[in-house]
Structure 1
Amino acid sequence: MQPLGPTSLTWRFFGDNRALLVGPRAGVLQLMLPELGQGVLDHSVFFSDTLGRLKRSAGPILNTVYGGQDAAATGATVRDYHRDIKGVMPDGDRYHALDPEIYFWAHATFVDHLFYATETFMRPLTEAERRVMYEESKTWYAMYGVSDRAVPEDWEAFQEYWHKMLTEKVAAHKSAKYSVGYAEKGLPRPKEVPAVVWKVISRPVNAVARFLTVGGLPPETRKILGLPWSAADERRYRTFARTVRRADGLWNVLPRAVRYAPPARAAFARYGSPR
């Protein structure tokens, strides 16, 4: 299967830096699948080196989209990172990260991230565009070389799958609760920031982090994780999102180095800009 390229909608939107405003939505949702959360708990350095783990993951995931002819090799590398991630759940059931149902859930959270970020902070999509982007997500998933038995057939089936996962499958796993703990307790002081400086800036930084983290989660998962979010919070979030969308014209005249993540910019230089 040919990888995604400049003619795809995914290339246009996935590497757009406005997607960062979604916060850690995909990562939190991944950890709410109990088997995936347990795999992270058992095998990952996520708890001891959270930011480092996220940075190391971001590049390869972006390059399964923007890698061009190298995308499948990158996808295979990402897949192979997970070969030895297996173990036993608290109830005695076994799990393996390459189980297609588990692996596809991780991918599905990135697909959701793409749709949510685009429509919340960039522009609305037409129904036809949603269908096209979902088909592109299947091409993207194929780059990993994992069985597609868990992949919903079309956009409607994906929506049904997503609703079922949020209402029947996800849970407040310890890994997920840890990942949003700072929303209530505040972020730890980065080592590079002097204590006296952090004392001054921590309050606004933590307020923004909570706003983006909790606001970016689906309502169902906020409730499961016990994260308070009022009607006033929701109004502020919607106002913020609307303001970002309305600035689209200004955003598009900024340098590409501001607008897109490095893997996307490298792909545009190598293969051509989205169209």
Structure 2
Amino acid sequence: MTDLVEPQSATDALPLGPQSLVWRYFGDNRMFLIGPRPAVLQNMLAELGQGVLDHSVFFADTAARVKRSLPPIFMTVYGTEGDNTGARVRDFHHNIKGDMPDGSRYHALDPETYYWAHATFFDQALYFADTFVKRLSRDEKEQMYLESKTWYRRYGVSDRPMPADYAEFERYWDRMINEVVVPHSTAKYGVGYVTKGFPRPKGVHPVVWRLVAPVFNPVAAFLTTGGMPPRTRELLGLPWSERKERNYQRFAALWRSRPVNWLWDRLPMNVRYNGYARAGFARAGHA
């Protein structure tokens, strides 16, 4: 079921580095604006959602799962070709396997399953940039996709399911969203706070949370629901309307506006980028 390979470079991909668009956008601290889009979409693939349900601390301690999972992925992107954590990320998944409700087997390192997880992270960078930074040209989308092929190959998992170019990736993405993903219980749990309210984070005093929650919860619901593809909103039963969609598009256009981008680009690096991205830029002499 699994198919592991050694990381390799290929002539059909573009390199990661300070000039790459993936580096420019993936570690941008404005990423919170898209909400939990990649995590929810990942868990809507039945096999991946089942793996999280069976093996992860996601339900008991969501924050712990995020803190454990994201740093190695960022270090895979912002590391060098010879020094990144891609193989370590892959190896985290060796024992994530089991039975689906219909009796079939799943394994996290099945190439189709693993590639879907990666695809949602690439989509994260693409959707964020195109929605909240600037409208990307076709050439920029193609460039980002070819850079993402280098990123995926760093994991050392078979690239058999990986589309050849951005046009093929679009067809793959549309098929997954429109025909494959399902409202798995793991995904529904991940967006449950849209209607129920976000649970008080550990370490936040109950009194403080009572003051913050009335503002935080509707904003979180707006960003979460607005950031999901329309069909997945329907599958997950997320409340939305034409009015909310108009407000979301206005909100996104404000962030894409020239004055906001002008101001953001002049803020210090430690405001604009997370620590993993800053370390990568600094190592490459672009601090």
TM-score, normalised to structure 1, is 0.96
Pair 1:50 & 2:54 matched: no
On the 8 A contact 1:65/1:71 being kept in 2, the answer is no
SS of residue in 1 equivalent to 2:98: strand
1:269 and 1:165 mapped to 2: Cα distance?
37
On the 8 A contact 2:44/2:183 being kept in 1, the answer is yes
Alignment of 1:102-141 (within 5 A): 102-141=113-152
Return 5+ residue gaps in structure 2 as ranges: 1-7, 10-14
Instruction: Return the offset for 1:272.
Output: 2.8
Alignment of 1:83-232 (within 5 A): 83-232=94-243
Q: Could you tell me the percent identity over the aligned residues? A: 58
Alignment root-mean-square deviation, CA: 1.2
Instruction: Return the offset for 1:71.
Output: 4.6
TM-score, normalised to structure 2, is 0.92
Instruction: Return the offset for 1:193.
Output: 2.0
Instruction: Return the offset for 1:273.
Output: 2.7
Pair 1:252 & 2:252 matched: no
Pair 1:263 & 2:276 matched: yes
Deviations 1:157-196 (A, max 9, x none): 1000000000110000010000000111011112322222
On the 8 A contact 1:18/1:122 being kept in 2, the answer is no
Return 5+ residue gaps in structure 1 as ranges: none
Instruction: Return the offset for 1:7.
Output: 2.0
Instruction: Return the offset for 1:69.
Output: 4.0
SS of residue in 2 equivalent to 1:192: coil
Counterpart of 2:79, as a letter, is G
1:141 and 1:191 mapped to 2: Cα distance?
34
1:273 and 1:119 mapped to 2: Cα distance?
24
Question: How many aligned positions are there?
Answer: 273
- Point out 4+ residue stretches in structure 1 off by more than 6 angstroms: none
On the 8 A contact 1:63/1:71 being kept in 2, the answer is no
SS of residue in 2 equivalent to 1:178: helix
SS of residue in 1 equivalent to 2:228: coil
Map of 2:74 onto structure 1: 62
Counterpart of 1:89, as a letter, is M
1:126 and 1:91 mapped to 2: Cα distance?
43
1:107 and 1:62 mapped to 2: Cα distance?
12
